[in-house]
Amino acid sequence: MGDHQAKSETASLIEHRAYARVGLLGNPSDVYFGRTISFSLGNFWATVCLQPSDDLVIQPHPIHDLVVFKSLDHLVNRLDSEGYYGGVRLLMAICKVFLDYCKENEIQLEARNFTLSYDTNIPRQTGLSGSSAIVCAALSCLLDFYKVRHLIKVEVRPGLVLNAEKQLGIVAGLQDRVAQVYGGLVYMEFDKEHMDTSGHGIYTPMDVSHLPPLHLVYAENPSDSGKVHSTVRQRWLNGDEFIISSMTEVANIALEGRTALLEKDYTKLAALMNRNFDFRRSMFGDDALGALNIEMVEVARSVGAASKFTGSGGAVVVFCPDGPSQVKLLEDACQKAGFKLEPIQVVPSLLNEVDLQTLSK
């Protein structure tokens, strides 16, 4: 009897993993009706577990949601390094957004409760979308627990993840959440007309075999992530010609990059990666980007590698077109500068058969 009960409890446990992501080309044009290419990064992930329970419980993480401290110094040091927020608020927000969406779309949910818990190894403040990975994994658990995966289209899900983060004042675009929902390598178009009518962009999965070997460079203790508030958004809204034309160029980099990847023209890819960063730098300025972030790009470029931010800073994606000898030079340069370097593992598509059936034909 006891064994049978234990087995049934284990069988009812739902667990999903969502990965960090790398914006390869075109970012940050996703929030300016542009185009991007991104992929799921297998090196880091967040895991969410859902277990049926009598009450609905959001379980605090023993490290990321710490509320017991050894001293006042411990508490303050903790806040200085980690900030005020862990993952509990993210799990609560996606529960709200999920329920609201189901009510609005007349999707009936069974009256059942659950306990949600999470874990993550995505480094903080590295621009690898750690928050949205937790939300994305939790959404997957809810879809399966309530058996409504077939009723909520794949294209819609990144918007639900983003809405949960917006509830908490997190400012971001759809790109990261698309890469995390879909997995693999995805080319995205955020055409304004399409976005206005459908509420989402046009997302085209690509074969991950089109990617060359790539590396990730990041700082273990990022302290300088760009302290100056950027004026780019407001300037774009005000019709600033330099910002509008630059953002159009950045979007075109993703378009050219898609062709370069399909043709495996990696010389072109390297040039596009560098150009992407140069446009970002000219628009945002060094104070907004942060000295440490710029140094990561420049360390990679000092050995002839191509590099750009994976997101808004904190980590860079690097391509060494000259192969292993150049990678060795990069290793030495990163070690000297005190940066971490890892070969990038790309996650293949995460979509299952039910997901694929929901995709717009």
The answer to whether the CB of 254 falls within 8 A of the CB of 246 is: no
Last residue of a domain, which of 191, 208, 225? 208
Do 303 and 168 lie in a common domain? no
Mean per-residue pLDDT for 75-82? 79
pLDDT tens digits, one per residue of 305-318:
999 999 888 899 99
Last residue of a domain, which of 192, 208, 224? 208
Q: Is 161 left (phi over 0), alpha (psi -120 to 50) or beta?
A: alpha
Indicate if the pLDDT at residue 180 is higher than 70: yes
Which residues touch 131 (CB under 8 Å, ≥6 apart)? 87, 90, 165, 170
Instruction: Please tell me the predicted confidence (pLDDT) of residue 11.
Output: 59
CA dist 123 and 315 (Å) reads 10
Compare 125 and 321 and report the one with higher pLDDT. 321
Q: Which domain holds residue 306?
A: 215-343
In this structure, what is the dihedral angle of CA atoms 194, 149, 40, 290, given to the nearest 10 degrees?
60
The answer to whether the CB of 230 falls within 8 A of the CB of 190 is: no
Is residue 354 included in any domain, yes or no?
A: no
pLDDT tens digits, one per residue of 127-147:
888 899 999 999 999 999 999
Indicate if the pLDDT at residue 2 is higher than 70: no
Instruction: Please tell me the predicted confidence (pLDDT) of residue 359.
Output: 85
Q: Which entry of 176, 196, 224, 355 is annotated as an active-site residue?
A: 176
Do 275 and 187 lie in a common domain? no
Instruction: Please tell me the predicted confidence (pLDDT) of residue 3.
Output: 46
Q: Buried b vs exposed e over 323-332: b needs ≥16 C-beta within 10 Å?
A: eeebbebbee
Instruction: Please tell me the predicted confidence (pLDDT) of residue 360.
Output: 66
Is 119 in the active site? no
**Averaged pLDDT score across all residues of the chain:** 91
Indicate if the pLDDT at residue 225 is higher than 60: no
228: domain CATH number is 3.30.70.890
Do 250 and 169 lie in a common domain? no
